[in-house]
Amino acid sequence: MPGTRTVPPRGWARWRRLRRRLDNAMFTRARYSQPMMPVMCLLGCLFMPLYWYIWTYLLPQPYSNLGLHLAGSAVLLPLALQRWWPRRCRPWLPVYWYAVITYVLPFFFGYLMLRNGSSIGWMAVHQFALFITMMLFDLASFALIFSLGTAAAALAFQLGPHAGWPTHALLQYAPVLALTLVLGPLASLSQKFADQAKVNALIGASNNIAHELRTPLGSLQLAGRAIGRYLPHLLESHRLAEQAGLPVAELRGPHVQALRRGIDVIEHEVSHAHTVIDMLLMAARPMGKLQLEPLHVRACVAQALARYPYASRAERERVHLSPGPDFVLRGSETLLTHVLFNLLRNALFHTGRAGKGEIRVSLETGADGHYLRVHDTGPGIPPDVLPRIFNRFYSYAEGGTGTGLGIGLAFSQSAVERMGGRISCHSRWGEYTEFVVRFPARAGVPSGQGLPA
């Protein structure tokens, strides 16, 4: 029960948030590289022993180590075969990707550069490795990988057999390395700013398109209502004309039913389009400008479930509002409604795709807070996907096809936090998914028992 749960200490909660941000950053960068990762790593597996052969026989170097090269091939091979990883191992892909790149780029080439006396050729090779690392990662990740790899290379050189540090060569290399470390990240930042500008432009264009669509949608809705208003009169006129023996085309029962269904389809599709536009505009709108006010949560939830544009009667029958207490929240009806719309849309999509499951929405209140739960008995969320679902632009569906742009749950998280709450997800693969929105006890007061849906 909610009343028996304990809230983690503040310091532990901050550490968990920091760890989650780091994990999400690693996952995002690994995901950007993932499409080309198998090809890059397969080529790396092949080139590692080839480099050893070249540096040992064709262009002999003072130092070459077959073990280092084979170790590089060995750690790259799992990334080349990531498609066949067991699902339980996939959450570790970002960490493994970072560790492998740290070894095969800054450590591997840094260590060989030191062992070969930091010649001009090896400085160029080391520069190449740094630029590849910069291309694969953002500034913070590059700083982490470069620092760890370089420190490990220096430590391995110091602890292993060596003739002394190539101090003079390193002093000559230092200005070039410093310039690389300054200009390379600046180029990365410029690309980041350019990407952000594209996102801002896309949001602005989406807003304009959404607003422009309102007029034709409104006209279509008025036309559908006009047809629905005058259709009974037209049908009655047709019946009277037939009775009078006038030459009119035959109008069968299925034709009439099709006309009436068409009117319902127009009304539903227009309503659905307006809902989608509202959600897009809300996702792009600064939440800080929304005013918070006392809100009866149960009434808001019931109204949202009634307003949601279900695709069919079967969809509507899969959604149930459980009896339970009400509470008053200082929040925004608009935000809470669109949070519910996002959660319902995901639940309906996955239960519909699986061909099974129902969705139950419930409210709970206790000494430690108030809870809004959306529980579905659909296919669940895979364990490697679950930690990422609130990431912006992350979208997933079984079979590799995403369900959308990946902004719905990210928006929901921001909206709930704007109202002082927290949203989390619990799922068991193949059994259920439950989203829990928790508001602190000070956010609301119980206001009696609600009615069953």
State the pLDDT confidence band at 226, using cuts at 50, 70 and 90.
confident
Does residue 308 sit in the same domain as residue 445?
Answer: yes
Q: Is residue 334 part of a domain?
A: yes
Q: Is residue 156 part of a domain?
A: yes
Beta-ladder partners of 363: 372
At which of 131, 146, 165 does a domain end?
Answer: 165
Does 303 or 282 have the greater pLDDT score? 303
- Percentage, residues of the chain above pLDDT 70: 78
Q: Is residue 252 part of a domain?
A: no
Encoded tokens for 30? 């690994």
At which of 141, 165, 189 does a domain end?
Answer: 165
CB 435 within 8 A of CB 424: yes
Does 32 or 68 have the greater pLDDT score? 68
The three-state (H, E, C) secondary structure of 260-297, written as one string: HHHHHHHHHHHHHHHHHHHHHHHHHCCHHHCCCEEEEH
Q: Is the pLDDT of residue 1 over 50?
A: no
Q: Is residue 65 part of a domain?
A: yes
Q: Is the pLDDT of residue 4 over 70?
A: no
Q: How many domains does the chain have?
A: 2
Question: For the ranges 43-47, 133-137, 263-267, which has the lowest average pLDDT?
Answer: 263-267
- Percentage, residues of the chain above pLDDT 90: 26
Q: Is residue 1 part of a domain?
A: no
- At CA 216, angle to CA 215 and CA 218, rounded to 5? 65
What domain range is 116 assigned to? Answer: 19-165
Q: Is the pLDDT of residue 253 over 60?
A: yes
State the pLDDT confidence band at 96, using cuts at 50, 70 and 90.
very high
Q: Is residue 296 part of a domain?
A: yes
Which segment, 7-21, 233-247, 413-427, is predicted with the most confidence on average?
413-427
Q: Is the pLDDT of residue 205 over 70?
A: no
Does residue 303 sit in the same domain as residue 441?
Answer: yes
Distance between CA atoms of 67 and 122, rounded to whole angstroms?
19
Q: How many other β-carbons are positioned within 10 Å of the β-carbon of residue 248?
A: 13
CB 109 within 8 A of CB 125: yes
> In 3-state terms, what secondary structure has residue 238?
helix
Q: In b/e form, how buried is each residue of 287-326, taking b as 16+ CB within 10 angstroms?
A: beebeeeebbbbebbbebbeebbbeeeebeebbebeebbb
State the CATH number of the domain containing residue 315: 3.30.565.10
Encoded tokens for 358? 């129902």
> In 3-state terms, what secondary structure has residue 113?
helix
pLDDT for residue 448:
47
At which of 135, 165, 195 does a domain end?
Answer: 165
Q: How far is CA 443 from CA 82, 299, 324, in A?
A: 46, 16, 18
State the pLDDT confidence band at 57, using cuts at 50, 70 and 90.
very high
> In 3-state terms, what secondary structure has residue 416?
helix
Q: Is residue 373 part of a domain?
A: yes
Q: Is residue 54 part of a domain?
A: yes
Query: Over the stretch 326-368, which tens digit does the pLDDT of each residue have?
Result: 888 888 888 888 899 889 988 888 888 777 789 999 999 887 8
Length of the chain counted residue by residue: 453
Does 374 or 399 have the greater pLDDT score? 374
When pLDDT is averaged across residues 214-218 and rounded to a whole number, the result is 73
Round the average pLDDT of the chain to a whole number and report it: 80
Predicted TM-score (pTM) of the model is: 0.60
- C-alpha dihedral sign at 54, 60, 61, 66: positive
Q: Is the pLDDT of residue 401 over 50?
A: no
